[in-house]
Amino acid sequence: MLRVHDIDVFYGVVPALHRVCLEVEAGETVCLLGPNGAGKTTTVKSIIGLLTPRAGKISLNQADITGQPPHRTVGLGISLAPEGRLLFPDMSVEENLELGASPPRARAQKREARAWVYSLFPRLQARRGQPAGTLSGGEQQMVAVGRALMAKPQLLILDEPSLGLSPLLVQELFRVLKTLNEQGMSILLVEQNVVQALKISDRAYVLESGKIVMQGTSAELQKSDTIRKSYLGI
């Protein structure tokens, strides 16, 4: 479904990514792991169209989307729950969700999509009229994921969704992601919570200093001495 092939990305003259390659097949959950500053968010921004690679190619369903603007990328079926949530704090939960239904095909199914999001996150329905800025961090993350789902994406990208959440809320969030994948949604998960990410993913890539340094099935990476020492503390 998604293919990132040999992309180079720069911030001015400073290289951020070098020949990064990754793939997400239909129905897969793939996680992108790595330390702070490795280039994970830069990779996400390049896929969604916030950054344009200087070299390489990004394709969705074999169609070249390299450098397409974000509204076009979302219309083609990729949706992002960004790092930091980036909600509109003075708008209600429901208003924030409805902003996600901007593509024409999503607008036509807005009511059904909203009911679907509320079924995944029941506490949001109880708070649908409440300003998003008054919610807890975990509830705000649910709104961010729900807003991304309102676009009815083929591929859902999540950038550090568990950041700052309590262990209980992390478990709840990852349960929802597993449910979404079981329903057929493809997911690219950018995470520092390696244990939880590898539990729910099919495959994983490890990014360090702007380069992919390791890849394989999640089971293979869980057994890797490098992963166990560097990320799991074992």
Residues 64 and 4 in one domain: yes
Separation between Cα atoms, residue 139 and residue 89, nearest integer Å: 12
pLDDT band at 231, cuts 50/70/90? low
Residues 106 and 217 in one domain: no
Of 209 and 193, the structure prediction assigns the larger pLDDT to 209
Average of pLDDT values for 157-169? 88
Residues 72 and 157 in one domain: yes
Residues 67 and 179 in one domain: yes
Residues 67 and 163 in one domain: yes
Planar angle of CA 28, 29, 30, nearest 5 degrees: 110
* Any domain includes 178: yes
From 120, 136, 152, give the residue that closes a domain: 152
What per-residue confidence (pLDDT) applies to 115?
93
Query: What share of the chain in percent tops pLDDT 70?
Result: 98
pLDDT tens digits, one per residue of 74-123: 989 999 999 888 899 999 999 999 989 887 877 888 889 999 999 999 98
pLDDT band at 232, cuts 50/70/90? low
* Any domain includes 199: yes
Residues 24 and 132 in one domain: no
Separation between Cα atoms, residue 186 and residue 78, nearest integer Å: 10
- Predicted structure pTM score: 0.92
> If DSSP codes are grouped into helix, strand and coil, which group holds residue 186?
strand
CA torsion angle 84 87 89 95 (round to 10): -160
Residues 134 and 158 in one domain: no
From 152, 183, 208, give the residue that closes a domain: 152
Mean pLDDT of the chain: 91
Closest CA to 107 of 154, 150, 153, 155: 150
How many Cα atoms are found within 13 Å in the side-chain-facing hemisphere of 26?
6
Q: Return all residues near 171 (Cβ < 8 A) that are at least 6 apart.
A: 196
pLDDT band at 233, cuts 50/70/90? low
Average of pLDDT values for 2-25? 96
Average of pLDDT values for 132-138? 90
From 152, 174, 199, give the residue that closes a domain: 152
What per-residue confidence (pLDDT) applies to 178?
92
Separation between Cα atoms, residue 150 and residue 111, nearest integer Å: 9
Q: Name residue, tokens 């702070």.
A: 36
What per-residue confidence (pLDDT) applies to 163?
85
* Any domain includes 82: no
Segment holding 13, helix H or strand E: none
pLDDT band at 130, cuts 50/70/90? very high
Segment holding 90, helix H or strand E: none
Total domains in the chain come to 2
* Any domain includes 48: yes
Residues 20 and 116 in one domain: no
Segment holding 140, helix H or strand E: helix 137-149
Task: Supply the range of the domain harboring residue 101.
Answer: 87-152
* Any domain includes 122: yes
Sign of the four-CA dihedral 179, 191, 156, 222? negative
> If DSSP codes are grouped into helix, strand and coil, which group holds residue 67?
coil
DSSP codes of every residue in 158-169: EESTTTT--HHH
Residues 92 and 140 in one domain: yes
What per-residue confidence (pLDDT) applies to 226?
79
pLDDT higher than threshold 90 for residue 229: no
* Any domain includes 227: yes
Residues 73 and 145 in one domain: no
Segment holding 221, helix H or strand E: helix 218-223
Neighbours of 197 (CB within 10 A): 26
Residues 158 and 224 in one domain: yes
Residues 91 and 192 in one domain: no
CATH number at 66 reads 3.40.50.300
pLDDT higher than threshold 90 for residue 39: yes
Contact between 62 and 154 under an 8 Å Cβ cutoff? The reply is no
